[in-house]
Amino acid sequence: MQRKRHTPDLKAKVALEALKGMTAFLRTQEENVNPKRVCRLFRTMGLEAIYPKPKLSQPSDNSRRSLSAQGTRH
């Protein structure tokens, strides 16, 4: 498949900002692709879009309040 051979070269030219960005870029190169197809190509090639990940290791304000409320109930 020509797209798979093309994508590593594109990685050097275009920052992989997001799925939509790469989809738009491929469409300017006259490739008929949709975001689902680009996502599947990313997955098969082991690539990830660059965006802030959720901070799951940091407790939210609500969890701190509930822990302090539980500690005072004896």
The pLDDT value given to residue 36: 85
The pLDDT value given to residue 17: 61
Whether 5 shows a pLDDT value over 80: the answer reads no
pTM to 2 decimal places: 0.42
Tens of pLDDT, residue by residue over 14-73, are 544 667 788 888 889 888 888 888 888 888 887 766 666 677 777 767 665 555 555 555
- Can you give the residue ranges of every domain in the chain? 2-72
* Neighbouring residues of 19: CB distance < 8 A, sequence distance ≥ 6: 35, 38, 39, 42, 49
The pLDDT value given to residue 64: 59
The pLDDT value given to residue 43: 81
